[in-house]
Structures are given as structure tokens and as C-alpha cells.
Structure 1
Amino acid sequence: MTTSSSFRRAFETPILLILIAVLVATIGLFADATISRVAVQALIAVVFVTGLSLFSGNSGVMSFGHVAFMAIGAYVTAYLTIPVGLKKSMFSELPESLGFLATVHASFPVAILVSGLAAMLLALIVSPAVARLGGLQAGIATLALLVMVFTVLNSWTDVTRGSSSMIGLPKSTTVWWALGVAIVAIIIAWAYKKSRSGLQLQASREDYLAATAAGIAVGRHRAIAWVLSALAAGMAGALYAGYMTTFNSKTFFLTLTFSFIMMVVLGGYLSLSGAVLGAIGVTVLQEVLRRFQDGAFTAGNSLPAGVADLLLAAVLLLVLVKAPLGLMGTRELRLAIRPVEGTRS
């Protein structure tokens, strides 16, 4: 295989995924407000599921707790971007050790970066547990992390406002910001997948006993993927907070978790391409079904409440029956171009 052919095969998939993200952003930029909103939400979902795929796709361990990192990113962004005057009135009873939070302020780009790093810090703290567990036990452990983070956010009212909404965030997330972060997340996820650590983690996914017998430090590689995936989830939380401008602790719990899980399962959680396509496809499908349920496409004759969720569940069930590994399985997007005769070395 020639150098140019090797280069094309190495970078073909991330380039195609980036072009798809650019297409989504372009449609959102020149369409009406509704389509623009769907485009931004789809790109935010791409950022999150790319991070989820970085861990679950390489390790084979499905994480039910990554929304916890998204919540951390959203709350950090709130503290960094809400105007200082409003924060002082909203958080008048902050503990003395956290009093600086009421006076700190940063730009949105800094908030995105700090949010990602804060999520990585939490991931690093709990990584020993994730590294030691596997299979069903690891999945339950990630769910336990989500429950713990939700409980803290919902109960620590002096700091998080509990079930009361965070308000006053400037609307900072644009199509361009969502696209830029999505591109960064795709590049990081693909680079890790093709790295030595990523390949060894994939080997453990296929045969754990053989990988450990070959001397692969599965726990270490799993921890690396876990921490890197938290970066993308935290940045997704920052984008979400900067777009919605208001949220509370209940926003980041089971409903959002199941929505993201559906995206990666439908697309194929072992494939980065599947995760990205699933995020975009499910976001669009959710919007279409919601508008049918609201009567927007049926001359005002709205469907019964909950029909949209039932249809989504039916689609998920059908895909799982027909394609247990998702629509993409373990495949990645490639150009259907065969090498020209004589180019092989």
C-alpha cells in the first residue's frame, strides 16, 4: 500500500465525519429558527456521544453515567458566565470556601475549556473504580456515579440551587461554537481510537483474557479512555448550558441519559461513525415526532402524549432485533473508491 493510500485510509473517516458536521452546521446557519435549533442540538449531541463512544466503543463497557460529566460542565459554565451581580444575589449563602465563585467571571471559550477539565478531574477521581471493574459491574458503577452526582446537585441548594433553575446565563452557544467543539471532539476520539492505548483497549474488548495474558494493562487503558471521554462530555455540558441558558439538577438525569444511549445504540456504539450518525439521526427524529405529537404536521390534530417516546422505543427495539450492534455495527465511514491498479507496493 502506498503512502498516499495509507494516509487516506487513516484520515478518511474523521474527515467524512467532520464534513457531515459542517453540513449540519451549514443547514442550521441558513435555515429558519426551528431547523437552526435542531442543528445546534444535533451538534451538541455529537460532542457528547463522541465522548461516550471514546470510552464505550473502545472498552466495550456501556457507560450510563456520562451525563454526570455533562452536568459538571453545565454548572461550571454557569458559575463562569452568569454576570457577577446576578450571582451575588442568587448565591448569597455560599460556603466561605466557595465564596470566590460569586465573583469569578470568564469568557465562553474559557468556560468550555474549564468545564471539560473539571469533568476530567471528576473522571480521574473515580477512574480507579472504573479501571478495576468490567462488564455489567462497570456499567452499574457508572450509573451509581450518575446517581451520586444528581443527589449532590439536587441537595446542595446553597451552591447548586437544587431543583430551582440556574438562570441568567448569556446565550453564548452558536452554530459555529457547536461545530468547532464537535470537530475537536471527533479528532480526539479518532486519534485515541488509532493510538496504541486505544488499539490495546479494543483488544481487551474483543478478548479480555487474551489481552491480559498478552501483558496489556487493561485497567490503565480503560482509565485513560474514561478520562478523555469526560472531556468531551464536559464540553457538551458547557455548550448545552450556553444554548439553553437555564437548567436545573433534574435536567441531567435519566431522561437525558436514555436519549444519548439510544443515539449510540442505534448508530452502533462500537463505531465512532455510528455514534455521530446516531446523534444526528435521533435528534432529527425526536424533533419530527415531537412536532407530529404537537399537531404541527397534522393540521392541528395532535397525537396523544407519549406517542413520540413510544415510537422512538419501537424504532430502538426494531434496530436491536435486526442489527444488535447498531446500524453501523463496527464499520466506519469510508469512501467507496478502490485503489487504482498498480498503486500497491
Structure 2
Amino acid sequence: MTNSTRIRGLFETPVLLVAIVGLVALVALFGDPTITRVTVQALIAVVFVTGLSLFSGNSGVMSFGHVGFMAIGAYTTAYLTIPVNLKSSMFSDLPESLGFLATIHAPFPIAVLVGGLSAAALALVTAPIMARLGGLQAGIATLALLVIVFTVLNSWTDVTRGSSSMIGLPKATTIWWAAGIAALVIVIAWAYKKSRSGLQLQASREDYLAATASGIAVGRHRVFAWVLSSIPAGFAGALYAGYLTTFNSRTFFLSLTFSFIVMIVLGGYLSLSGAVIGALGVSVLQEILRRFQDGAFTGGNSLPAGIADLILAAVLLFVLVKAPLGLMGTRELRLFRKRSIGSAL
């Protein structure tokens, strides 16, 4: 294999994925408000699911707790971008130690960055657990993390407003913000997948005992992937908050978790391309199913609530039966396939 072929193979997949993200953003510019809305939400989903793939795809541990990191990013953005005069009335009972939250204000780019770093701080606190656990136990631990985050956000009313909505956020998330961060996260996720740490973590995913016997520090690599993957989840939360402009603790719980899990499982959680394609495809499918449920395709006759989720779950079951590793499996997008040894002679 020549150096040019090796370099092309290294950069081909992220270039294609970034091109797809850019093309989706461009197409949305010529669409109606509905297409714009679906596109922005789909690109935010790409940011989140790519971050989730960074951990789950390399470690083999499916995380049900990354929506908790997304919630941290969203609430951090709310504290930093809601106008100060409005915060003074919204957070009149803040504890003295957190009183500064009512007086600070930052531009949206800073809020997105701090949202990602805040999520990383929570990931760092929980990292020792991820280093010690593996397999089913690790998956259950991530679900416990989601429940803890939700309970705190829903109960600490003086700081988070509980089930009452955060309001007054400026609508700062645009197609280009979402597309730009999605492209950045794709590049970071691919770079980690091809890094020494990423390859060693993938080795532990395939055979944990063989990896540890070979001297691979599985816990250390899993912790690094866990913390690194939390940053895109925080970014996604910041973008989501900047687009919705209002949300509450229930926004970031099981329903959103289910949507993202469907995306990464349908696309293929072992493939970065599968994560991106799954996020885009399921986002479009969810909008079609929602409009179908609301009667847009049935002559105005609304269908019972929950039909959209039922159909989506049925699609997930069908795909899992036909392709247990998702639509992409372990494959990545390529323009040029490697030639076999026989064809090269």
C-alpha cells in the first residue's frame, strides 16, 4: 500500500461524513421552516450520537446516561445566556454560594464551550465507576447516572426550577452552528477511533481478557473515552437549549434517551458512519411518523398518541433481527474500496 493510498484511507471517511453534514445544511437553506427545523434538530442529534459513538462504539459499552451530560450542557447554557434582569426574578431563592449564577452573562459561543466542559466535569467525577465496571454492569451504571441527574434537576427547584421551564434563552442555534459543531465532533471522534488509545479500547471491546493479558490498561482508556465523549453531549445540550429557548428537567430523560439509542443502534453503533447516518435518517423518520400521527397524511384524522413511537420501535426490532449490528455494521463510508491481493497482482 502506497503512502497516498494510506493517507486517502485515513481521511476518506471523515471527509465524506463532513460533506454529508454540509450538504444537509445547504439543502435546508432552500426549504420551508419545517425542513429547517428538522434539519437543525437532526444536526444536533448528529453531535450527540457521534459523541455517544465515541464511547460506546470503541468500548462496546452502551451508555444510557449521556443524555444526563446533555442536560448539564443545556442548563449551563441557560444560566449563561438568560438575560440578567430576567434571572433575578427566576432565581430569587438561589443559595448564597450559587448567587453568582444570577449575575453572570456570556455570549452563546462561550456558553456552548462551558456547557461541554461542565459535562466533562461530571464525567470526570463518575469516571472511576466506568473504569471498574464493564459489560452489563457498566450499562446499568450509566442508566443510574441518568436517573441521578434527572432527580437532582427535577428536585433542586431553587437552582433548576424543577419541573417548571427554563425560559428567556435567546434563539442562538442556527443551521451553521449545528453543522459546524457536528463537523468538528465527527473529526474528533474519527481521530480518537484511529488513535493508539482508541485502537486499544477497541481491542478490549473484542476480547477483554486478551486485551488485559496483553498489558492494555482498559480502565484508563475507557475513562478517557468516557470523559471525551461527554463533551459533544454537552455541546448538543447547549445547541438544543439555544434552539428550543425553553425546556425543563423532563426534556432530558427517557424519551430523548430512547430516540438517541434508536439512532445509534439502527445505524450501527460500532461504526462512526452508522452513527451519523442513523442520526440523520431517524430524525427524518421521526418527523414523518409524527406528521402521520397528527393526521397530516390521513386526511386530518389524528391517530392515537404513541403510534409514532410504536412504529419506530417496530422498525428497530426489524432491523435488529435482519442486521444485529445495525445498517452499517462495522463498515465505514468509502469512495474507493481496497483492492484484494489477487487483483493487485
Place the TM-score, normalised by the shorter chain, in its bin.
over 0.9
Secondary structure of 1:327's aligned partner:
coil
| Residue aligning to 1:223 | 223
Shift of 1:340: 12
CA, structure 1 residues 209+339, in 2 after alignment: closer, same or farther (shift >3 Å)? closer
**Matching residue's letter, 1:298:** T
CA RMSD across the alignment? 1.5
| Residue aligning to 2:147 | 147
Shift of 1:338: 5.7
User: Would you say 1:208 and 2:208 are equivalent positions?
Assistant: yes
| Residue aligning to 1:46 | 46
CA contact (8 A) 1:73 1:234 kept: yes
| Residue aligning to 1:119 | 119
- 2:16 and 2:158 mapped to 1: Cα distance? 46
| Residue aligning to 2:244 | 244
| Residue aligning to 2:169 | 169
- 1:340 and 1:57 mapped to 2: Cα distance? 27
Shift of 1:90: 0.3
- 2:49 and 2:189 mapped to 1: Cα distance? 10
Shift of 1:299: 2.1
**Matching residue's letter, 2:106:** A
CA contact (8 A) 1:153 1:162 kept: yes
Output aligned runs, 1:78-157, within 5 Å.
Answer: 78-157=78-157
In the TM superposition, structure 1's runs of 4+ consecutive aligned residues that sit over 4 Å from their partners are 337-341
Q: 1:289-315: CA deviations, max 9, x gaps?
A: 111111112221222222111110110
| Residue aligning to 2:262 | 262
| Residue aligning to 1:285 | 285
Q: 1:70-108: CA deviations, max 9, x gaps?
A: 000000000000000000110011001100000100000
CA contact (8 A) 1:73 1:116 kept: yes
| Residue aligning to 1:18 | 18
**Matching residue's letter, 2:182:** A
CA contact (8 A) 1:27 1:36 kept: no
Secondary structure of 2:257's aligned partner:
helix
**Matching residue's letter, 2:144:** A
Shift of 1:339: 6.4
- 1:239 and 1:212 mapped to 2: Cα distance? 39
| Residue aligning to 1:273 | 273
- 1:89 and 1:307 mapped to 2: Cα distance? 40
Output aligned runs, 1:28-47, within 5 Å.
Answer: 28-47=28-47
- 1:174 and 1:245 mapped to 2: Cα distance? 12
**Matching residue's letter, 1:155:** S
Q: 1:205-243: CA deviations, max 9, x gaps?
A: 000000000000000000000000000000000000000
- 1:295 and 1:61 mapped to 2: Cα distance? 39
- 1:172 and 1:271 mapped to 2: Cα distance? 31
Relative to the length of structure 1, the TM-score reads 0.97
Secondary structure of 2:315's aligned partner:
helix
CA contact (8 A) 1:197 1:221 kept: yes
CA contact (8 A) 1:27 1:39 kept: no
Secondary structure of 2:333's aligned partner:
coil
Which segment is superposed worse, 21-30 or 37-46?
Answer: 21-30
Shift of 1:30: 1.6
Shift of 1:318: 0.1
- 2:23 and 2:235 mapped to 1: Cα distance? 21
| Residue aligning to 2:328 | 328
- 1:97 and 1:304 mapped to 2: Cα distance? 48
**Matching residue's letter, 1:10:** L
**Matching residue's letter, 1:215:** G
**Matching residue's letter, 1:194:** K
- 1:30 and 1:44 mapped to 2: Cα distance? 19
- Indicate the percent of aligned positions where both proteins have the same amino acid: 79
Q: Flag structure 1 segments of 5+ consecutive residues without an equivalent.
A: none
User: Would you say 1:187 and 2:187 are equivalent positions?
Assistant: yes
Secondary structure of 1:216's aligned partner:
coil
**Matching residue's letter, 1:164:** S
User: Would you say 1:77 and 2:77 are equivalent positions?
Assistant: yes
- 1:142 and 1:45 mapped to 2: Cα distance? 19
**Matching residue's letter, 1:197:** S
Q: 1:248-291: CA deviations, max 9, x gaps?
A: 00111111001100000000001111011000000000000111
| Residue aligning to 1:6 | 6
- 2:240 and 2:24 mapped to 1: Cα distance? 17
CA contact (8 A) 1:293 1:303 kept: yes
Q: Flag structure 2 segments of 5+ consecutive residues without an equivalent.
A: none
